[in-house]
């Protein structure tokens, strides 16, 4: 009521260009009392010539159908904010003004402290924050309840008292009625102290959020439908920043991270900074998995690997291209006469390989790896398992099935693009036709 009258007074000033809509929620929890309050607010809005929107919610039914495991307070909050956003969208409102005050802030800080929240939680409610393209503002957040009640009484602003606020069966009420008075015996300025703590933690949290945003931009990159970072870049970060970086990554992925997920965040962090083991997997729930593969940490959907079934592409015309969309790369095949002024045998970089075309059995094939794959490795006297080559090159296990392998018609492995060339069909001074294969990025 105090907030409504304050904003209404401001709206009378044309320079403010302020248009109000009064949105009231009846949670359906207190029967006739709730109905009477809704009428009270409706009548007052009509008297003030302010548009009125009423949200009649059925919280008990919602909890039975969709809110299982949620307390009445949380379920009510979810539906209340859903309604407020609906009204804001209907009227094209830029802001939703909420009447939380300093005593509410103190209760919030205590509740979050009891559940083990970090700095973000202890910062309490923000004076202003953006949610769903609307600004949530709390103009009264630094004013104490006694001051607001006194203002209402002085200005003859009518108000009602929610009888459920006097019942300590709800967590917030228990904090207000039992916990704060008990702790107040040891600190006569407890509410002020808790608000000061929220303000300090809020400023420090804002600073850390900027720092972690910078760290994210430098360290984290998308890969295979998930996100990844290099452990050697991660280790120098302070532990506080490491935790926040992991939390931010989880926030960007389809995985709901609550304060209680500290155990999972810490498991990832410690698993990243320790020397052994160098490969592990952690199911985070919600269809998300965290992998450590040598010096790489990856966050991927559990089904990411199964989405890449085996593939096999025949290449029998030249020039030709084979796209590898999941890696953002492509293989280009080009056949030409050799330039013997250049020693073609040395053109065997990781992203390019040159072969004596007359020594190849066509058509060529680009395929995924198969169990037992063996390649005659250039520079070695003999063959080596492809699996061992991947291990030597520290190729993450989850990526091995995605790496293309080029073979000839007889199944002989010619090249593992980006990794190793075979000793098959080497170009010599006697070569009359060459096959050049290049691994390019799609945007090159």
Among residues 402, 412, 410, 427, the alpha carbon closest in space to that of 352 is found at 427
Domains of the chain, start order: 2-199 (3.40.50.620), 220-301 (3.30.465.60), 312-441 (3.50.40.10)
* pLDDT confidence of residue 309: 55
pTM above 0.75, yes or no: no
84-93, 271-280, 384-393: range with lowest mean pLDDT: 271-280
Average pLDDT over residues 199-223: 96
d(CA 293, CA 307): 19
Top-confidence residue, 72 or 269:
269
Show the tokens assigned to 430.
């006697």
166-180, 270-284, 302-316: range with lowest mean pLDDT: 302-316
Top-confidence residue, 308 or 184:
184
Top-confidence residue, 308 or 206:
206
Residue 187 banded pLDDT, cuts 50, 70, 90: very high
Q: Which residues pair with 321 in a beta bridge?
A: 332
Average pLDDT over residues 427-439: 92
- In sequence order, the 6+-apart residues with CB closer than 8 A to the CB of 251 are 257
Q: Does position 444 have pLDDT exceeding 60, yes or no?
A: no
Top-confidence residue, 53 or 347:
53
CB atoms within 10 A of CB 143: 17
* pLDDT confidence of residue 378: 83
């Amino acid at each position: 009521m105090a907030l409504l009258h304050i904003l209404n007074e401001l709206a009378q000033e044309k320079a403010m260009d302020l248009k109000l809509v009064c949105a009231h929620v009846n949670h359906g929890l207190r029967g006739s009392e709730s109905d009477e309050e809704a009428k009270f607010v409706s009548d007052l809005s009509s008297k003030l010539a302010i548009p009125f929107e009423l949200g009649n919610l059925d919280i008990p039914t919602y909890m039975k159908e969709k809110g299982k495991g949620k307390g009445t307070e949380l379920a009510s909050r979810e539906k209340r904010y859903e309604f407020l956003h609906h009204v804001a969208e209907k009227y094209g409102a830029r802001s939703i003004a909420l009447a939380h005050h300093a005593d509410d802030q103190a209760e919030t800080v205590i509740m979050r402290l009891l559940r083990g929240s970090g700095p973000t939680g202890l910062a309490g409610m923000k004076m202003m924050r953006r949610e769903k393209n609307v600004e949530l503002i709390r103009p009264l957040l630094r004013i104490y309840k006694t001051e607001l009640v006194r203002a209402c009484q002085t200005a003859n602003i009518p108000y009602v008292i929610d009888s459920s606020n006097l019942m300590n069966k709800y967590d917030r009420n228990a904090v207000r009625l039992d916990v704060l008075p008990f702790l107040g015996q040891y600190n006569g300025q407890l509410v002020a102290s808790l608000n000061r703590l929220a303000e300090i933690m809020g400023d420090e949290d804002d600073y850390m959020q900027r720092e972690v945003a910078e760290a994210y931009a430098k360290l984290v990159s998308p890969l295979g439908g998930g996100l990844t970072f290099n452990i050697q870049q991660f280790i120098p970060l302070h532990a506080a920043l490491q935790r926040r970086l992991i939390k931010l990554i989880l926030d960007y992925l389809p995985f709901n991270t609550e304060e209680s997920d500290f155990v999972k965040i810490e498991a990832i962090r410690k698993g990243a900074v320790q020397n052994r083991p160098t490969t592990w997997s952690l199911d985070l729930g919600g269809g998300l998995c965290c992998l450590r593969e040598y010096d790489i940490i990856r966050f991927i959907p559990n089904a990411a690997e199964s989405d890449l079934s085996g593939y096999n592409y025949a290449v029998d015309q030249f020039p030709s291209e084979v796209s590898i969309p999941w890696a953002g790369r492509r293989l280009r095949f080009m056949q030409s006469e050799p330039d013997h002024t250049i020693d073609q045998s040395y053109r065997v970089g990781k992203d390019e390989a040159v072969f004596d075309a007359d020594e190849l059995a066509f058509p060529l094939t680009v395929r995924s790896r198969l169990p037992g794959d063996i390649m005659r490795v250039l520079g070695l006297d003999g063959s080596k398992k492809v699996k061992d080559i991947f291990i030597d090159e520290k190729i993450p296990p989850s990526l091995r099935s995605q790496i293309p392998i080029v073979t000839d018609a007889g199944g002989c492995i010619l090249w593992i693009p980006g990794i190793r060339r075979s000793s098959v069909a080497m170009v010599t001074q006697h070569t009359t036709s060459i096959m050049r294969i290049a691994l390019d990025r799609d945007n090159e």
